[in-house]
Structure 1
Amino acid sequence: MPRPHSDWHIPDRYEIRHLIGTGSYGHVCEAYDHTEKRVVAIKRIHRVFEDLVDCKRILREIAILTRLSQDHIVRVLDICVPRDLQNFDELYLVLEIADSDFKKLFRTPVFLTELHVKTLLYNLLVGVKHIHSAGIYHRDLKPANCLVNQDCSVKICDFGLARTVDRVLDPKLPNSPRNGDGDMVGVANTKSLKRQLTGHVVTRWYRAPELILLQENYTEKIDCWSVGCIFAELLNMMKENVPYHSDRGPLFPGSSCFPLSPDQKHATDYKFHTRGNRDQLNMIFNILGTPSEEDIEALEKDDAKRYIRIFHQRDGIDLHSRFPGASAEAVDLLQRMLVFNPGKRISIDEALAHPLFKDIRNVASETIAKERIQLPFDDWLSLNEQQLRIAFLREVLRYHPQCAQLNAFLSQMPPH
């Protein structure tokens, strides 16, 4: 039986060691880079152009990662030059390698102290702060997208659903998605957003309520909600909170997500979704309680307001009782992150300044990007296969500027 990587077409400098991951995109292998004398991860993305929406997602991730440079964000070390520039249908990304990720960590029979938990959380927040300062909303933060090493360093990956903020912000507010008048910056929410959020078998357990409800003018607070959900699972790793590792799980394990994925038999029956325990918002309200009338009124769309009002009203639970081994500071921060109304939810900067981190905070590590990322293509327009192919090759050129074949090929192509 052939090995999964026996047909890989990569330069001789990389020596494949073994398979470390697999997914719908292809495989990831551990490899040794003989030129740089380091261990790396190589991600093979096959059938790149089979689905142009997925293809755009891959391009977006590569374009963002190659323009971010920070210790808490995974680095792209190389993109291998395709053998056939005109007809290639696979890509090889060389990435920093990590010991594990949060999803795998949560499944291990290992227990953490609160010092471990807050160190991991702090490092994650530092990474998110840098991403936001570059004008990026991640939009899909979840345990599998948080790589982790034994020294508690954290590296954020998978920017396939990320978005650049689509308006220039007030220069006095480099980390805030608001303009000088205090208005929220709009991030266009087209049909393509719904296609992206529903077209993949992705978990909704970490998705902010405003994204679930398809609100158009969401802010960077969507990522703060996701970090809160991840924080809750980190707290589960304390033996005082969950004595048996097999009992760990997400805080909001919904299995459906109306209106993103309505049951087809009840596509317009809001009450059907509010009655069942499977709905993602029901799971959230079981823990946090139903929103106040003030918070419902803060929603943009009337259909979202009507939908929320149908839910059976209830009070939230005491998170101190849910996490009895956690400090008062830890529970306080968790409560501030998991707030239904994004206008009342804690910001990343406020979270970094929270008393929970007073003994470990290193302000010098909380770097901001030198400039906001501008993608080399219009992220709101559809691109055809030829346009996508050229865009990929321009990203490859960033790593191989001296490649004569690549330069010659791209010189014949139309400009951006």
Structure 2
Amino acid sequence: MQQPHKHKSSKASIPRPPCDWLIPDRYEVRHLIGAGSYGHVCEAYDRQERKVVAIKKIQRVFEDLIDCKRILREIAILNRLKHDNIVRTLDICVPHDLDKFDELYLVLEIADSDFKKLFKTPVFLSELHIKTLLYNLLVGVKYTHTAGIYHRDLKPANCLVNQDCSVKICDFGLARTIDTPANSSTLPNDENEAQVGKNMKRQLTGHVVTRWYRAPELILLQEKYTEAIDVWSVGCIFAELLGMMKENMSSHIDRAPIFPGNSCFPLSPDQKHASDYRFYTRGNRDQLNMIFNILGTPSEEDIQCLEKEDAKKYIGIFPPRDGIDLSTKFPGASLEAVNLLKRMLVFNPTKRITVDQALSSPLFKDIRKASLETTAPHKVKLPFDDWKAMTEHQLRYAFLKEVQRFHSTVVIPPSLEVANR
């Protein structure tokens, strides 16, 4: 099977490697492959294992303790997930100053590209390519869910891809473990069980998933959401994959997310209009408006299933419409592909297809391997309370406990041990 083209840069265009990285001699840094607010990612060669890896430098780790907690969460979750469709942490370099370190180096599996970059390349894919990529993504999502984790930020940039169509899910910084807080006994005495539950619900409805891939129940700030939020995100990614078929999109320049909204409930630009829901929906680029243009407005039954009255009122402001037939948007896609997409992009999460149902779709009948669809041996339980703010000392201690998983000889400074008793 012909595989997606791997983009190759000329030597002159390859970014020069950084010269200030404090990493062990076993790693030979080659060139920069990514950058963001967290720091940089470089391709490197592991002389000990004799293979190419990615090294992610996270700088100013403790500058913002909320972001710091997200970094810790991602590291802790990845250290506990072992699956071929989830990126694996290979090493965490031991910090030079265990008391005062402010940067971390994560050694990760490397991939040829990611979906976001793939969507921008001037190449086309067959439906066989697309369903293979989608199947591999769903297998990874299934394992994640059986481990008791909602990813909450599935988007093209967080789906790594190789030329053989293998897919690896990455970036678990906004993920949540759906389990009782590991250290609930450490909560202050005046925080009872009800308060813990309130905190959990508040954090679950926090900053999750990039707007274009955000499920309606998250947009409307519903508190009791399920793993169906990740299925919606996968559906949005699937739609973009179908846009890579020449039969569906004659030019790669025309490719775009299926729901490219510019604003999102419940943010209002003027507090004077806080109770005027018509003010929120002005303009045609509201995220829900973009969804309703494609799928149609929800039924009264589905609206009544919403938890909050303000969400019901907000939905009622949008003019009723029927949406479109997705087969007309993707005329080159098979009936099986369109039907699966329709079942993923359903407003009501209780009516949305599950991951197991998606894997059983007729679309995958020629490529499905049940032996690959493994489940986690147990639910992931983090060694810290993921639902409670942590001090810098607690965070440092937790980071070093994760480092110890790779370097058992690391001795945590006594000051940090005392702070975490």
Query: TM-score normalised to the size of structure 1?
Result: 0.90
Contact 2:397–2:416 (CA under 8 A) maintained in structure 1: no
The alpha-carbon distance between structure 1 residues 62 and 292, as it changes in their structure 2 partners (threshold 3 A), is: same
1:83 aligned residue: 96
The alpha-carbon distance between structure 1 residues 275 and 312, as it changes in their structure 2 partners (threshold 3 A), is: farther
Contact 2:294–2:323 (CA under 8 A) maintained in structure 1: yes
Distance in structure 1 (CA, Å) of the matches to 2:63 and 2:206: 16
2:66 aligned residue: 53
Q: Compute the displacement of 1:408 (Å).
A: 5.9
Unaligned runs of 5+ in 1: 169-184
Could you tell me which amino acid in structure 1 is paired with residue 324 of structure 2? Answer: I
1:189 aligned residue: 201
Unaligned runs of 5+ in 2: 1-14, 182-196
Match of 2:286 among 257, 279, 283: 279
Contact 1:112–1:237 (CA under 8 A) maintained in structure 2: yes
Match of 1:297 among 301, 304, 309: 304
Tell me the alpha carbon deviations over residues 77-97 of structure 1, each in whole angstroms, 9 at most, x when there is no partner: 000000001100000000000
Q: Compute the displacement of 1:412 (Å).
A: 4.0
1:181 aligned residue: none
| Residues 1:153 and 2:166 are matched in the alignment | yes
Distance in structure 2 (CA, Å) of the matches to 1:373 and 1:413: 26
Q: Following superposition of structure 1 onto structure 2, how do residues 100-111 of structure 1 map, counting pairs within 5 Å?
A: 100-111=113-124
1:10 aligned residue: 23
| Residues 1:248 and 2:259 are matched in the alignment | no
Contact 1:186–1:218 (CA under 8 A) maintained in structure 2: no
Q: Compute the displacement of 1:110 (Å).
A: 0.8
Match of 1:219 among 205, 213, 226: 226
Distance in structure 1 (CA, Å) of the matches to 2:416 and 2:101: 18
Distance in structure 1 (CA, Å) of the matches to 2:264 and 2:218: 10
Q: Following superposition of structure 1 onto structure 2, how do residues 6-405 of structure 1 map, counting pairs within 5 Å?
A: 6-167=19-180, 188-190=200-202, 192-193=203-204, 196-197=207-208, 203-259=210-266, 261-264=267-270, 266-403=273-410
Distance in structure 1 (CA, Å) of the matches to 2:60 and 2:377: 35
Contact 2:397–2:417 (CA under 8 A) maintained in structure 1: no
**Greater CA drift, 333-342 or 277-286:** 277-286
Tell me the alpha carbon deviations over residues 84-128 of structure 1, each in whole angstroms, 9 at most, x when there is no partner: 011000000000000000000000001000000000000000000
SS in 1 for 2:213: coil
Q: Compute the displacement of 1:5 (Å).
A: 1.6
Q: Compute the displacement of 1:263 (Å).
A: 2.3
Could you tell me which amino acid in structure 2 is paired with residue 74 of structure 1? Answer: V
Tell me the alpha carbon deviations over residues 52-72 of structure 1, each in whole angstroms, 9 at most, x when there is no partner: 111111000000000000000
Distance in structure 1 (CA, Å) of the matches to 2:124 and 2:165: 14
Could you tell me which amino acid in structure 2 is paired with residue 245 of structure 1? Answer: H
The alpha-carbon distance between structure 1 residues 93 and 217, as it changes in their structure 2 partners (threshold 3 A), is: same
Distance in structure 2 (CA, Å) of the matches to 1:111 and 1:83: 47
Q: Compute the displacement of 1:189 (Å).
A: 2.5
Q: Compute the displacement of 1:410 (Å).
A: 8.0
Could you tell me which amino acid in structure 1 is paired with residue 260 of structure 2? Answer: P
Could you tell me which amino acid in structure 1 is paired with residue 200 of structure 2? Answer: A
The alpha-carbon distance between structure 1 residues 148 and 322, as it changes in their structure 2 partners (threshold 3 A), is: same
Q: Compute the displacement of 1:275 (Å).
A: 3.1
Distance in structure 2 (CA, Å) of the matches to 1:299 and 1:253: 23
1:172 aligned residue: none
Contact 1:74–1:157 (CA under 8 A) maintained in structure 2: yes
Percentage of identical aligned residues = 72
Contact 1:189–1:214 (CA under 8 A) maintained in structure 2: no
Distance in structure 1 (CA, Å) of the matches to 2:275 and 2:21: 48
Tell me the alpha carbon deviations over residues 303-323 of structure 1, each in whole angstroms, 9 at most, x when there is no partner: 111111111111110100000
CA RMSD of aligned residues (A): 1.9
The alpha-carbon distance between structure 1 residues 187 and 338, as it changes in their structure 2 partners (threshold 3 A), is: farther
Structure 1: 4+ residue segments shifted above 6 A = none
The alpha-carbon distance between structure 1 residues 322 and 187, as it changes in their structure 2 partners (threshold 3 A), is: farther
Q: Compute the displacement of 1:187 (Å).
A: 9.4
The alpha-carbon distance between structure 1 residues 7 and 187, as it changes in their structure 2 partners (threshold 3 A), is: same
SS in 1 for 2:99: coil
Query: TM-score normalised to the size of structure 2?
Result: 0.89
Distance in structure 2 (CA, Å) of the matches to 1:272 and 1:224: 30
The alpha-carbon distance between structure 1 residues 240 and 167, as it changes in their structure 2 partners (threshold 3 A), is: same
Could you tell me which amino acid in structure 1 is paired with residue 358 of structure 2? Answer: A
Tell me the alpha carbon deviations over residues 148-194 of structure 1, each in whole angstroms, 9 at most, x when there is no partner: 000000000000110111359xxxxxxxxxxxxxxxx999321x455
Distance in structure 2 (CA, Å) of the matches to 1:75 and 1:379: 21
SS in 2 for 1:205: helix
Equivalenced residue count is 391
Q: Compute the displacement of 1:270 (Å).
A: 1.6
Could you tell me which amino acid in structure 1 is paired with residue 47 of structure 2? Answer: H
SS in 1 for 2:313: helix
The alpha-carbon distance between structure 1 residues 390 and 327, as it changes in their structure 2 partners (threshold 3 A), is: same
Distance in structure 1 (CA, Å) of the matches to 2:200 and 2:143: 22
